[in-house]
Amino acid sequence: MRLLRFSELVLIVYFVYAIVVSQVLPVKASVPRTVFVVNVTVLAGILLLAYADGLRRRRPLSIMRDWFPLPLVLLAYRQMGWFAPAHHTYELERGWVVWDRVFLYDLKVRAAVEVLGPVFPSVLEIAYSLVYVIPHFSLAVLYVYRRRARASAFLSVFVLAVLGAYALFPYFPSEPPRTVFPDQDLPSYTTVFRQFNLWLLGGWGIHTSVFPSAHVSGAFSAAFAMRRLLPEKPWVGRTLLVLAILIALATVYGRYHYLVDALAGIALALVAFLFREPAPQSPSPAR
């Protein structure tokens, strides 16, 4: 039996990659050493958990392997913030915003969003905030429907899509449109849901890049994966797909991302889905 799951291999490759990148980028002197220590510890944890599960074959260890990648994805995001450049030229952003304005004004997307006042903008902001629970919800649904054997296949898509976005951040240094163009193209309504998202990003956001959108890649990868892995419960995949579309729209309308960020995120999700780990042909007993 293979020792490592596909998602664990992706995590290992990513954290090794981060060590290498930290040695190349012009970062603070303490960053390469910190990244090395943290990532070697993470790699040891992944390998130790996989080895212990393969040796003991105990249910708690297997369950830990299902959930362990999620905090590591969060760590990967925060760590990528350590690679932020000292200064941004905003060259990319000035080119990207042109397409945003075509999308928002020429295609009248902004007007359509605001046709009912703050109603739909609130829906978009709520959807945007729900992105953080999507992987937890997806795994929980697999557990509830006794399809935990498919958790590894789900994680293979989600982890590859999100970490794929993070891996590209250093090559597209950029800041979100709401900060680069603070008085332009902003939503007409500042709802309590928007205030929450701005507060959250203010405390947890990073300043390395916004391209591609990991919000979008994560949301669409989960939707694609669950539609394939849980066909007997189509409401799950359909719900996640609608939520992913709302999240993608929210990133652009709310000026959290540029349109190209969202499109690149969708493309990453498709690539991750194509290279996913094969799901079990039939449900196997949960252990």
Backbone phi and psi for residue 105, each to the nearest 5 degrees, phi listed first: -105, -50
Its sign, for the CA torsion 85, 88, 91, 92, is positive
Amino acid at 159: V
CA distance 156 to 30: 32
Do the Cβ atoms of 188 and 112 come closer than 8 Å? no
Element containing residue 162 per DSSP (H, E):
helix 151-168
Please give the pLDDT value at position 247: 98
What is the rounded average pLDDT for all residues in the chain?
94
Please give the pLDDT value at position 13: 97
Torsion angle in degrees (nearest 10) through CA of 243, 245, 248, 250: -70
CA distance 124 to 113: 9
Please give the pLDDT value at position 282: 52
Predicted TM-score of the model (pTM): 0.94
**62 has pLDDT over 80:** yes
Please give the pLDDT value at position 1: 43
DSSP codes joined into one string, 111-133: HHHTTTTTHHHHHHHHHHHHGGG
* pLDDT tens by residue, 111-122: 999 999 999 999
* pLDDT tens by residue, 22-56: 999 999 999 999 999 999 999 999 999 999 988 87
Residue 2's pLDDT band, with cuts at 50, 70 and 90, is low
CA distance 121 to 127: 10
Percent with pLDDT over 70 in the chain? 97
Please give the pLDDT value at position 204: 87
First to last CA, the chain: 15
Extents of the domains making up the chain: 6-274
CA distance 34 to 40: 10
Please give the pLDDT value at position 286: 45
**197 has pLDDT over 50:** yes
Its sign, for the CA torsion 269, 270, 273, 275, is negative
